[in-house]
Structures are given as structure tokens and as C-alpha cells.
Chain A
Amino acid sequence: MKKYFQQEIECMPHEKIRELQNERFMKQLRHVWEDVPYYRAKMQDKGVSIDDIKSMDDLHKLPFITKDDLRKAYPYGLMGKPLKDCVRIQSTSGTTGQRVVAFYTQHDIHIWEEMCARALVAAGGSDEDVVQVSYGYGLFTGGPGLNGGSHLLGSLTIPTSSGNTDRQIMFIKDLSATILCCTPSYAAFIGERMKEMGMKPDDIPLKAGIFGAEAWSEAMRRDIEATMGIKAYDIYGLTELCGPGVSFECEDQHGMHINEDYFIAEIIDPKTGEVLPEGSLGELVFTTLDKEAFPLIRYRTRDITSLTREPCPCGRTHVRMTKLKGRTDDMLIIRGVNVFPSQIETVLINQGYPANYQIIVDRVNNTDTLDVRVEMTPEMFTDNLGEVNKRQAKLVEGLRSMLGLTAKVTLVAPKTIVRSEGKAVRVIDNRKI
């Protein structure tokens, strides 16, 4: 079985990758300068001309593109190719308020699918596998991306899309799916349903899962792995850049390899925009290197992570980003403290509660309140009020030590928190700010 989809690229020595990046970067920047007037104007506003950029070492001189630019330039303002050269549109759900519409040429689709195929191979996939794609199909990139990657790899693809959970389980079982692709919250939901149906990990042929499109904790990974008897891999991407596959985990499960032949990744201080050294936690910024229809220079993702060039046991040389703590969009500021839902999730799972929870933020008498609603489970319940109280207090204490602030914990009846078939809605913020 092949260990890599494209060994020569994926394991290319760092200096060679730099060379390739540099060559592609100069070409990509020229493409943007000539074909994207919006970005050219941004460069000129900053007093930078194409001639000032001699190599990718000058990257820091270039202006950022933000979500706000995407909104202003909507829908065609950032395109690098005429519409007649494009073959596909994908779009975000717009849950954070800004809908992103991205365009693809044949070439753009091809490199995206290539990245997804690399992710599948890194998760142990080959043309012998049966890949069930339970991400939504449609404008959302999850379904089309993994579907394309699976085709390119030659795996047998089951395009179930999301929803109809009992049928998902039936397909996994009857059609011997070996790799499942969906959001982590949907994977947890499928696992929960399997348990309810009395199924054990050995009852299904799955060996791996590729779960992305939302931040999820290590604790949740362990939980899903135990419930389904699989290895669960993270995958990262944004519609703006292509979709899932921008980076992906390998068998080592220690950070996601960013496809450096297609992107330059930088970490910046989100406040000052200054580039931070390797290993620093900051905002992830991407420059595309080989995009035709939707090239982006220094695109600010609002995702918080860090990069490492530590050699990876898997042999891939591409830089790794750590598992996302969360999008800055997901981050809550409660009484001045930064809180990511994934931190709350970690505490819950470590104490034996299910990954289904809801965070309700409100403001009472000018003070922020944080209410974490957790479902009671048979394992956590006893007839003894004091004992249940004690467990509740332990949860409050666990959250306090993780977050540095006191949260209220409300225990609710099972199945009262709505399950997600796509991206979970964890936070309800009732503050009127």
C-alpha cells in the first residue's frame, strides 16, 4: 500500500520546497497584479509595486486580504480569471455573517482534489478502500472536496452526504465503508446512534475517519476513536483557499501538514499584523501559489494556531500546524477572558460527559454569564442527590481551572440538546452588545 499520494512532493526536502514556492509565488503575484485590480489597488495604497517584490522573502511587504475585503469585493472583485474559464462555484454557510463565494477553474478543482487525495492516503486510504463521504454536498466544500479526492485516489466512493443517520450506519455496515468523512460533531452523533443500536466498534468495518470543518478537541478525538474503533484524523481548509485539504493529519496525528507546494503559511500577531517566528501562537495567513480563478495573497484566516518544522515521523516534510484551538470567530470573550468552545468540550469529555453541549452566554447586571448545558447520562446519574451535586461541582471546578472563570453548569435531560449533521451550533450568545 502506498504511504503517500505524491511522495516526491510530500517528502521534498525543505530547501527544494522553498525553491518551488518561490518560483510559484512570483508567478502567482504577477497573475494577481495583472488580473486582480482590487488587490493591485491595495498594493498601490501601501506604496508597493510588483517590482519591489524580488522573492518570497519580501512577502511581509504585501498587504493582507481580510474577510472584509471578500465582502467588499463580492462577488467577482477578487477573481483572477474570466467567468468563462471557471467551472465551479462553492460557498460558505455564512453562519458568521459573511458569505464567501469562491470560483474554480478545472485546474483549481484538480489541485484541490489532489490535496484531498493526499489526506486520504495519509489516513491509510488507497484504491482498495470504500470512502463514505457524509459531509454535506452542495455549496459547502466538504462533500465535493473529499468526493473528488476519493475519486482521484480510485477509492470506491459512497456519496451519502449528511443526514439520515440510521442509513449512514446501514451503508457503513452493508457496503463495508472503511473510511468515513464528515464533521467531528456528526461523527460523534453517528457513534452515539451506533451505541444506542447496540453496535460495538467491531460490528463495523471502518478503520479511519477524516473529520474537519470545525474545531474539535483531543478528548473528542479519543472519544470518537473508542466508540467507532477507528483512527480519527483532522483535516483543515477554507472555502476561500479551496476547501478541505489545505492541511491534513498523517498517521502521527500530531499537527496537520500544510500543502506547501500550493500555499505559503505565515503566523502573524492578530493585533499588529507582524510576522511571528516559528512556534508562536497567532493568526494563520495563507498565500495561494497555484490558483487561477481565486488567487489570494496574504489572506487572514482568523484561525489561531502555530507552525512547526520539527521532522515528522511520517516522512512528510511539509510544515505542520497544530490542531486549531478555534477560529477567532468562535472565540468568546467572557468577563475579559478568551474562551474557546473546544476548551469546554475537553473538560466535559475528560469527566465522562457526552460531546453534546451548549454554551449560553448572557449579560446580567453588566456582568457576563456563562452557562454550560450538559446532558445527563446513565453513567453519570445516581439516586444520590449529594453525589450528583458533587459531580456537578467537579465539572464547575474543571471548567474554572481550564478557563480561569466560573461557569454555571446546568444538567439537562438526554437528547434535549440538538444534534448536528453538519457544523454544530455550540454557542448561543444572548448578550446585546
Chain B
Amino acid sequence: MSVKQISVFLENRPGCLHEMTQALADSNIDLRGLSLAETSDFGIVRLIVDDVLGTATVLKDAGFVASLTDVLAVEVPNVPGGLNKVLKVLDGAGINVEYMYAILGNKKSETAYMIFRVDDNAKAAGALGKDSVKLLSQSELSEL
């Protein structure tokens, strides 16, 4: 079970990130999660949104290059060692985590949510499921 992440190419110059958020704001796109990776030349913004296709269209029309990636939305116990437990499972299954970041959760505080980009989604999902770690579907993500 995976969710769609939208990755956007950004030039590394002042105002570029704002141009993107402006385009999203103008189209009323609600951001669930975001992470930014950058080099000295360019950046990649990764977005988690409810309306994936709509957002991709908005970005394309605004002149951005974007791509879709399947990632895992993982429910992490909001207690000390919570993240450690998830990573331990992945490590045990020999899964390589390429990157991960936290996203907005619900108002209750028992759980946190993180996005994992791994080298093998199916294998990671299997291992996490066996250990009763909950993965969110696209619709569950929207309901948060």
C-alpha cells in the first residue's frame, strides 16, 4: 500500500519556491507534507497532497517539471523509540531508505506520520505489516 508523492524541480534562485507555493495557493491546493532537498544548483521539493492529479496539472501549467513517485505513508507511535521501531523493521528486512520526512498528522497526539521513500515498496510494506506497523492509503491520508 503506497501513496503518491509529487516531486518538483526547482532552480536554486530566490523566489523560486515562492513561485511554486503561489501557484498551489492560487489553485487552493492543501499541502499535507513537504520536504526540500537541495544542491548548490537546484532543489527538489517533494509534496504530499490530497488531489494528486489536480496538483500535477497545476504545476505543469505553471511551467514546473514534476514527477510522481510511490512512497509509503507510515503511522509511527508518537512515543520515544517510535521511529526507531519502524526503522528496525525495515533494517531487519534489508530495506534501504532513500529519504524520509514527517508530515502533518491528526490533532490527536498518539501517532505521528512519516513518508518513507525506500528501494522496495512491496517488501517494505510486507515487513511493516507483519510487525503491525500501520500504512496509510491515499484515502486514509486524505482523511487525516
Q: Once the chains bind, are B63 and A411 in contact (CB under 8 Å)?
A: no
Q: Once the chains bind, are B67 and A381 in contact (CB under 8 Å)?
A: yes
Q: Once the chains bind, are A388 and B44 in contact (CB under 8 Å)?
A: yes
A378 CB contacts on chain B under 8 angstroms: 65-67
Q: Once the chains bind, are B65 and A388 in contact (CB under 8 Å)?
A: no
Q: A383-B7, A383-B117 are in contact. Are A414 and B44 (CB under 8 A)?
A: no
Q: Once the chains bind, are A383 and B44 in contact (CB under 8 Å)?
A: yes
Distance (Å) between the CB of A166 and the closest chain B CB?
17
Q: A377-B65, A378-B65, A383-B69 are in contact. Are A411 and B98 (CB under 8 A)?
A: no
A96, CB-defined interface residue at 8 Å: no
Q: A378-B67, A413-B64, A414-B63 are in contact. Are A383 and B41 (CB under 8 A)?
A: no
Distance (Å) between the CB of A71 and the closest chain B CB?
41
A376 CB contacts on chain B under 8 angstroms: 9, 42, 65
Q: Once the chains bind, are B9 and A411 in contact (CB under 8 Å)?
A: yes
Q: Which of B1-15 contact A (CB under 8 A)?
A: 5, 7, 9-11
Q: A389-B39, A411-B42 are in contact. Are A381 and B7 (CB under 8 A)?
A: yes
Distance of A416 Cα from B11 Cα, bound (Å): 11
Q: Which of A64-87 contact B (CB under 8 A)?
A: none
Q: A377-B65, A412-B11 are in contact. Are A383 and B39 (CB under 8 A)?
A: no
Distance of A430 Cα from B66 Cα, bound (Å): 33
B37, CB-defined interface residue at 8 Å: yes
Distance of A149 Cα from B46 Cα, bound (Å): 55
Which residues from chain A sit less than 8 Å from chain B, CB to CB? 376-378, 381-385, 388-389, 392, 410-416
Q: Once the chains bind, are A384 and B65 in contact (CB under 8 Å)?
A: no
Closest to A384 in B: B98
Q: Once the chains bind, are B65 and A410 in contact (CB under 8 Å)?
A: no
Proximity bits, B34-47, A CB within 8 Å = 1, else 0 = 00011101101010
Distance of A45 Cα from B41 Cα, bound (Å): 58
Distance of A415 Cα from B11 Cα, bound (Å): 12
B66 CB contacts on chain A under 8 angstroms: 378, 381
A385 CB contacts on chain B under 8 angstroms: 37-39, 44
Overall SS of chain B's interface: strand
Interface centre among B11, B65, B69 (most CB of A within 10 A): B65
Distance (Å) between the CB of B49 and the closest chain A CB?
14
A377 CB contacts on chain B under 8 angstroms: 65
Q: Which of B49-81 contact A (CB under 8 A)?
A: 63-67, 69
Distance of A76 Cα from B7 Cα, bound (Å): 61
Closest to A378 in B: B65
Q: A382-B7, A382-B67, A413-B16 are in contact. List 4 more A-B contacts (CB 8 A).
A: A377-B65, A382-B69, A383-B46, A388-B42
Distance of A146 Cα from B59 Cα, bound (Å): 41
B67 CB contacts on chain A under 8 angstroms: 378, 381-383
B7 CB contacts on chain A under 8 angstroms: 381-383
Closest to A409 in B: B41
Distance of A388 Cα from B40 Cα, bound (Å): 13
Distance (Å) between the CB of A195 and the closest chain B CB?
13
Distance of A245 Cα from B91 Cα, bound (Å): 68
B63 CB contacts on chain A under 8 angstroms: 413-415
A410 CB contacts on chain B under 8 angstroms: 41
B11 CB contacts on chain A under 8 angstroms: 411-413, 416
A392 CB contacts on chain B under 8 angstroms: 41
Could you jot down 27 A-B contacts, CB within 8 Å?
A377-B65, A378-B65, A378-B66, A378-B67, A381-B9, A381-B65, A382-B7, A382-B69, A383-B44, A383-B69, A384-B98, A384-B117, A385-B37, A385-B38, A388-B9, A389-B39, A410-B41, A411-B9, A411-B11, A411-B41, A413-B11, A413-B16, A413-B64, A414-B63, A414-B64, A414-B65, A415-B63
Proximity bits, B99-137, A CB within 8 Å = 1, else 0 = 000000000000000000100000000000000000000
**5 interchain residue pairs of minimum CB distance:** A383-B7, A383-B69, A385-B37, A376-B9, A376-B65
Distance (Å) between the CB of A30 and the closest chain B CB?
62
Distance of A392 Cα from B46 Cα, bound (Å): 20
Distance (Å) between the CB of A176 and the closest chain B CB?
32
Q: Once the chains bind, are B44 and A413 in contact (CB under 8 Å)?
A: no
Distance of A415 Cα from B60 Cα, bound (Å): 12
Distance of A95 Cα from B98 Cα, bound (Å): 50
Interface centre among B16, B42, B66, B69 (most CB of A within 10 A): B42
Q: Once the chains bind, are A383 and B65 in contact (CB under 8 Å)?
A: no
Distance of A388 Cα from B7 Cα, bound (Å): 12
A416 CB contacts on chain B under 8 angstroms: 11
B9 CB contacts on chain A under 8 angstroms: 376, 381, 388, 411, 413
Distance of A411 Cα from B9 Cα, bound (Å): 9
Distance of A383 Cα from B37 Cα, bound (Å): 10
A388 CB contacts on chain B under 8 angstroms: 9, 42, 44
Interface centre among A377, A410, A413 (most CB of B within 10 A): A413
Distance of A172 Cα from B63 Cα, bound (Å): 27
Q: Once the chains bind, are A413 and B41 in contact (CB under 8 Å)?
A: no
Closest to A411 in B: B42
Distance (Å) between the CB of B48 and the closest chain A CB?
12
Closest to A410 in B: B41
Distance of A168 Cα from B117 Cα, bound (Å): 45
Distance of A376 Cα from B65 Cα, bound (Å): 7
Distance (Å) between the CB of A162 and the closest chain B CB?
24
